[in-house]
Amino acid sequence: MKLDHREKEFRRVKSKSGGSLFDLFEAERLDLYDYLLRMTGQVSRSDDTVDEVFQAFTEEMLESITSYQELRVSLYVTARKFNADIWGDDTSKLANQSLESLDGSEKTEGWQKFGETDVRLRSLPSKQREVLLLRERCHFSQGEISEITGMTESLVGEQLGLAIKIIPNLELVKMMPHHPLPEKSRLETQNLSIVMRGIKTKPVGVWSPGKLIFIFLILILSVVWFLYGEAILSRLNKKDALPPLPHAPRPGAVP
């Protein structure tokens, strides 16, 4: 889903005229996971964080956001806070399974360049690595990167310049394959997507005729019981009452 299309989808969600916030979040899943993993080196933690970030987002937060890009900034800021304790950890040994899974016959010259770029990227100092990821792979402006990272815009520009000196071919950074989502996460995402699509297709607030009749009968019975319940109970008690037992004759009495 391209950014301009996502902006249109966001406006539909914002105006409550259609669209799905869930779909917008899912469109960000792979980029956000890849960013987190390349900044922390933690596979399961990065995967869990993506779900936690999506779950932490509330309707109140949406009301204060005016554009899809602003929504993206908010997601990345939150994800970064959730991983503050391990942010910028050494990722030099973090192999990209999308590249490692290729055998010798599939490793063309282009794929080898991707591999070399991946090694250089994960060996960069954390600040340089982060600004390069956010600009070239996550498509944020220098001002947005400043908001996400807490660096000044001048420092963002400085770190970006240093990173480009080490990795001058930015096209390789942009096109480099993402780290694949864990298998469990992919399956859960597919299943949840199916469930959410099913929910969206069901009418909301519309009851079937059978349900309406049942509710109507319950209401009638409630009114009858309220008005005549005591009389009904009194009649039932009289009907069920046992007749008095006959007195036993006294000894010597003439029957």
3-state SS assignment for residue 139 = coil
**Residue 205: per-residue pLDDT:** 41
The answer to whether 117 touches 173, Cβ cutoff 8 Å, is yes
Q: For 67-80, what is each residue's pLDDT tens digit?
A: 999 999 999 999 99
Query: One-letter amino acid identity for 158?
Result: E
Going by C-beta distance under 8 Å and a sequence separation of 6 or more, which residues neighbour residue 28?
Answer: 72, 75
**Dihedral sign computed on CA atoms, order 196, 66, 70, 83:** negative
**Residue 191: per-residue pLDDT:** 47
d(CA 210, CA 216): 10
d(CA 170, CA 67): 27
Higher pLDDT pick, 243 / 66? 66
Q: For 14-64, what is each residue's pLDDT tens digit?
A: 888 887 888 899 999 999 999 999 999 999 999 999 999 999 988 788 889
- Count of C-beta atoms within a 10 Å radius of residue 164: 17
**Residue 241: per-residue pLDDT:** 55
**Residue 55: per-residue pLDDT:** 93
**Residue 21: per-residue pLDDT:** 87
**Residue 197: per-residue pLDDT:** 45
Higher pLDDT pick, 183 / 74? 74
- Per DSSP, the residues of 80-145 read HHHTGGGTT---TT---HHHHT--TTT--HHHHHHHHHHHHHHHS-HHHHHHHIIIIIS---HHHH
Least confident of 18-27, 121-130, 181-190: 181-190
